[in-house]
């Protein structure tokens, strides 16, 4: 069943520290007054221009295997390939902040509001990840609501373009999910449009399936290493 996800405006605005960290600025840093004003304006623009929406559809492991295979360009070994076969439940998802954010960004650059544009871009990137996190949580809630409630269960998301899942995998993901209904399309180069969007698979299963050593081929060229933070977060959930 396909679920169309709606988000509140308040869901969009990232925390100040998350936005700063995205720009390589230490959390809690004091900003000069003109930067502070630009930061506030960028936050206003994000709230005004975002129309966040998403779509999610459960998928069997066998079907996902076909989506994941994509056009045969994935790394020979990847975390996703090793994880999804051990999953209890999977769902494809796509979320977007909408075209309005891209338009607001273009207006800022055209008007030479360069700092506001840069801050808005960073905030919007964090916001797009934020609504993807919300989609992940909704899937968690959905499957738990149906009785999936193992003591060690966890839901995490994975996206084409990362962790050895080639970005051309977007084509089959989009063909299956049809996110055009929320205004999302794919370019020839497999880029999502609007830009501030996230797609992927949410995987529910025992916590340990999500934990891997970052020693795959893709890990060598990876600059984000977000997996390490996610693994830490899983470990802290285990302790609590």
Partner 1 sequence: MPALTEVADAIIRGDHAGVAALTRQVIREGIPPKTILDDGLIAGMTVVGDRFRSHEIFLPDVLLAAKAMYAGMDELRPLLIREGVPPIGRVVIGTVRGDLHDIGKNLVGIMLKGAGFEVIDLGHDVAPEKMVRAAEEQGAAVIGMSALLTTTMPVMRETVELLRARKLDGAIRTVVGGAPVSEAFARDIGADAYGFDAGNAVDVVKALVGRA
Helix (H) or strand (E) holding 155: strand 153-158
Q: How far is the CB of 87 from partner 1 (least distance, A)?
A: 26
Helix, strand, or coil (residue 240):
coil
Q: Which stretch binds partner 1 (CB under 8 A): 3-11, 103-111, 149-157, 232-240?
A: 103-111
User: Is there a contact between 53 and 130 (Cβ–Cβ < 8 Å)?
Assistant: no
User: Is residue 32 involved in binding partner 1 (CB under 8 A)?
Assistant: yes
Check binding of 190 to partner 1 (CB under 8 A): yes
Q: Which of 3, 31, 211, 219 binds partner 1 (CB under 8 A)?
A: 31
CB of 39 or CB of 64, closer to partner 1: 39
Contact track, partner 1, 104-143, x by CB under 8 A: -xx--x--xxxx-xxx-x----------------------
Of residues 136 and 166, the one with the C-beta less far from partner 1: 166
Helix (H) or strand (E) holding 153: strand 153-158
* Count, residues in the chain: 240
Secondary element (H or E) of residue 108: helix 99-110
Q: Is 72 in the site for partner 1 (CB under 8 A)?
A: no
Among the candidate windows 84-92, 174-182, 190-198, 208-216, which touches partner 1 by CB under 8 A?
190-198
Q: What are the residues whose beta carbons fall under 8 Å from the beta carbon of 157, sequence distance 6 or more? A: 93, 132, 133, 135, 136, 200, 201, 202, 203
DSSP β-bridge partners for residue 204: 89, 155
Please work out the total of residues on this chain that contact partner 1, with binding judged by CB under 8 A. Answer: 34
The reply on whether position 221 binds partner 1 by CB under 8 A is yes
Q: Does residue 28 bind partner 1 (CB under 8 A)? A: no
Three-class DSSP labels, 49-106: HCCCEEEEEEECHHHHHHHHHCCCCCCCCCHHHHHHCCCCEEEEEEEECCHHHHHHHH
Contacting residues toward partner 1, per CB under 8 A: 23-25, 29, 31-32, 34-35, 38-39, 105-106, 109, 112-115, 117-119, 121, 161, 166-168, 187-191, 193, 195, 221, 223
């Amino acid at each position: 069943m396909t679920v169309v996800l709606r988000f509140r405006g308040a869901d969009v605005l990232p925390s100040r520290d998350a936005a700063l960290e995205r720009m390589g600025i230490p959390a809690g840093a004091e900003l000069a007054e003109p930067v502070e004003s630009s930061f506030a304006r960028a936050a206003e623009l994000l709230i005004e221009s975002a129309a966040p929406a998403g779509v999610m559809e459960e998928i069997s492991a066998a079907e996902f295997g076909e989506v994941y295979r994509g056009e045969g360009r994935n790394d020979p070994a990847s975390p996703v390939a090793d994880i999804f076969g051990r999953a209890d439940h999977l769902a494809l998802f796509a979320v977007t902040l909408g075209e309005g954010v891209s338009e607001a960004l273009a207006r800022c650059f055209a008007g030479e509001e360069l700092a506001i544009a840069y801050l808005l871009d960073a905030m919007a990137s964090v916001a797009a990840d934020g609504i993807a996190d919300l989609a992940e949580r909704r899937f968690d809630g959905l499957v738990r609501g149906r009785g999936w409630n193992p003591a060690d269960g966890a839901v995490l998301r994975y996206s084409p373009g990362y962790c050895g899942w080639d970005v051309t995998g977007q084509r089959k993901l989009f063909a299956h999910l049809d996110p055009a209904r929320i205004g999302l399309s794919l370019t020839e180069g497999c880029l999502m449009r609007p830009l501030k969007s996230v797609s992927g698979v949410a995987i529910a299963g025992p916590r340990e399936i999500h934990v891997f050593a970052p020693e795959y081929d893709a890990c060598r060229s990876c600059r984000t290493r977000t997996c390490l933070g996610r693994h830490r977060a899983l470990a802290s959930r285990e302790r609590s």
